[in-house]
Amino acid sequence: MKYWLLVLSLFSVSLHAPAQVDTNYLKALYDRCLDFSEDKADSILHYATLIKKESDQLHFNKGDVLSLRLKGIFEEMSSNYSGAIEYYLQSLDASRKLTDVAYEKAALSDLAIAYANIKEPLKAKDFYLQAAKISKGTGDVYDLVNTYNNLAVIYTQLKQLDSAKLLLNDAIRYGKPYEKEIDLSSSYNNMGNLYCQEKKYDEALTYFRRNYEQHIKGDNPGDLWVDLLNLADVYSEKKQFDSANKYVQLAMKLALELESKGKEADTYGILAKLAEYKGDYRTAYDNLKKWYKLDTAIINGDTYKTIAELQERFHAKDREAANKLLKEQVEKESLRTKIVTIVAIAMAAIIILVAIAFITKRNANRRLKNINELIVQQNEKLEELNYEKNSLISIVSHDLSTPFTTIQVWGHVLQAETGTLTADQQKALGKIMQASNNGEELIRRVLDVEKKDIGQHRMQLENFDLTIFAEEVIDSFRPMAAKKDIRLHAEMPGKNLYLLSDKQLVSRICENLLSNAIKYTPHGKNVWISISDELDAVSIKIRDEGVGIEKEELPYLFSKYSKISSQPTDGEASTGLGLSIVKRIVQEINGKIFCESEPGKGSLFTVVLRK
C-alpha cells in the first residue's frame, strides 16, 4: 500500500492579529494557514471564518476565494471529500469571477488532489491539465516541479508507469539546482513507489530513506508518517519482518496522535499484509477488518453520489453561461445575415447569382462543420462512457475481492487446525478454498481484458536470447507439470537466437499457452515447446497430448469469453479469457498466432514474431 504525495504551495507569516485588521493581514493569515498540518485542522476552520467576516466588513474582493479554499482544506483533512470538493468548486467559481489566474490554478490543483484521493484519476488528470495550461510559460521552477510531480501521481493511478517516471525524472532534474529552496521529498517519495511497483525494492529504499532522514529532523508529522509506512511496506516485500514491524508500529503511533482515520486505515492495511506474509492469518484477518471498516467509513457510495451532484451543479453554471453567450452569437449572426441580404438585393443579376452560390456553399460548409462537431462530441461521450464502464468494473472488483480475501484468510485459519476436522469437513474446506481461488482469478482475468492495459502498456524493446528465455519459462512451469506427472520437453536450435521485442509481453504469451497445455493434458503425457529460426521471423510452438478441440470450435477459439466443449483434465479453472488476451498481445507486437487441433490427439499453437 504505497502512499503517493501531491503538493500544495506553502507560505509563512505571524498569526498574531494587529490592533487594526487590514487586507494585507488577511492575506498573510491565509498564507500561514496553508502551512498547518492535520493536527491544526480546527484552527484552519476558525481562521477561514475570521477571514470571511473581516473581508465582508472591509469589502475585500478576494475574501471569498481565501475563505472557501481554507474551508475545503479543512474538510479534506477531516476526510470529508464531498464537502471539500463543494468548497473547492465554489472557490474555483469565485476565482474565475475575479479573473485571477493564480487563485484559479490553486482551486484546479485542489480539485485534482481531492479527486485523486477518492480514486478518480481521470477527473484529477483533467483538472491538472487545466492548471498546467495556466502555468505554461510562467518560468516558475517551483510551479513546474509541482505540476510534473502531481501529474506523475495521476499517470501512475492510470497505470501509465513509464510516463509517470519520465515526469518524475523531469521534476527532480529541474528542481535539483534549487533544492535548498524547493522541497523535492514528494518527488523522491513517488519515485520510490514507482520502483516498488516494478519490484525494485533496493532502489525504492534509496528514495524512502532519503525522505525519512530529512523528515525525522523536521516538524511535519504527516510527511514522517508517509516515510514510516513506505519503509514498513518495502521491508515487508523484502521479507525483513523485524524492520517492517518496527516502522509500521511507529507509523500507527503517529497516525493515532494525528487522529487521522485515513492514515490509521492505511497502517492497518500494512499490518494485515505483514501478518499474512508471516503466516499469522488470524491477526491478518483482524487487521483486515479494521482497515475495511475505516476505509469504508471514509469513502462510500453516498460520498460519490454527493460529489457527482456537486459536479453537476457546477457544470450547470457553465452551461448557463455558455447558453447566454450562444444566444448573443445567434443575434449577431442574424443581424449579419440581414445586412448581407440587403446588399445582395442591390447588386446586379450576375452578382446576385454569385452571391447565392457563395451563400449556398457557406451554408453547406457550416452544416458540415456542425456535423463534425457533433461527431466529436459523440466520440467524447463514448470515451467517457467507456471509462465509466471501466471504473465500474474496478469498483465491483474491489468490492468482490474483499469477501474472497476474507474467505481465504478464514480458510487458512481452519486449515491450520485440521486436527479438529473430520475427513468430510477437510474435503469441504478444500472445495471452499478452490472456489474462492477460482473466483479471485476470474476477477483478475476479467479486469485484464476489460481494462485494455495491453493497449496502454508502453513498449519496452530489448534484444534478448529467445532460447535462454524459453528455458526460464519452462523451468517456472515444472512444478505445475509435476503435479500431473507431465513431462516437459524443449526443442531448441543449436545456436543463440535473438529477438528484438517486448520481453514482458512475449513472456505473457508463452506462460498463457504453456499453462493451458498442462491444464488440458492428462496425467503421464507430454508437452513440448520448440523455438525455430524462420529467416526474418522466429517461431514459438507449444504442442500437447491433450484432449484436443473440435474442428467447428476452432474459429471462435480466440474470441473474448468464448467457452469450448473441451475441459481441463484435472478440474482446473478456465474462464475463457486467456486465449483472447494472448491474441491481443500477439497483435500488439506485430505477430500472428495459429492453432491446429484434433479431439483426442492434442493441440499445436504456433506464434510467429518478426525479428
C-alpha–C-alpha distance, residues 93 and 95, integer Å = 6
Is 316 part of a structural domain of the chain? no
Q: Residue 430 maps to which CATH number? A: 1.10.287
Whole-structure pTM value: 0.39
* Domain co-membership, 429 together with 552: no
Burial class (CB in 10 A: 0-12, 13-18, 19+), 230: buried
Domain that holds residue 166: 1-198
* Domain co-membership, 183 together with 246: no
Residues in Cβ contact with 77 at an 8 Å cutoff, skipping those fewer than 6 apart = 38, 41, 44
Total domains in the fold of the chain: 4
Digit-coded pLDDT (tens) for 140-191: 778 778 878 888 888 887 888 888 889 888 888 888 888 888 888 888 898 9
- Boundary residue ending a domain (253, 270, 296): 296
Could you tell me which residues are beta bridge partners of residue 602? 598
The answer on pLDDT for 316 being more than 70 is no
Is 154 part of a structural domain of the chain? yes
C-alpha–C-alpha distance, residues 453 and 473, integer Å = 22
For residue 443, give the H/E element and its range.
helix 423-450
Contact assessment for residue 591 and residue 609, using Cβ atoms and an 8 Å cutoff: yes
The answer on pLDDT for 331 being more than 80 is no
- Boundary residue ending a domain (234, 269, 296): 296
Is 422 part of a structural domain of the chain? yes
The answer on pLDDT for 16 being more than 60 is no
- At 533, the pLDDT band (50, 70, 90 cuts) reads very high
- Boundary residue ending a domain (169, 198, 227): 198
C-alpha–C-alpha distance, residues 409 and 291, integer Å = 15
Please give the single-letter amino acid code of residue 57: Q
For residue 591, give the H/E element and its range.
strand 591-598
Q: What is the residue-averaged pLDDT of the chain?
A: 81
Is 533 part of a structural domain of the chain? yes
* Domain co-membership, 426 together with 468: no
* pLDDT score of 100: 83
Q: How many CB atoms lie within 10 A of CB 52?
A: 18
C-alpha–C-alpha distance, residues 362 and 354, integer Å = 12
* pLDDT score of 4: 58
C-alpha–C-alpha distance, residues 516 and 601, integer Å = 15
Q: How many CB atoms lie within 10 A of CB 137?
A: 7
* Domain co-membership, 25 together with 159: yes
Digit-coded pLDDT (tens) for 113-126: 888 888 888 888 88
Is 50 part of a structural domain of the chain? yes
- At 529, the pLDDT band (50, 70, 90 cuts) reads very high
3-class SS of residue 537: strand
Helix axes 261-277, 221-237, angle to 10 degrees: 20
Is 399 part of a structural domain of the chain? yes
* Domain co-membership, 175 together with 220: no
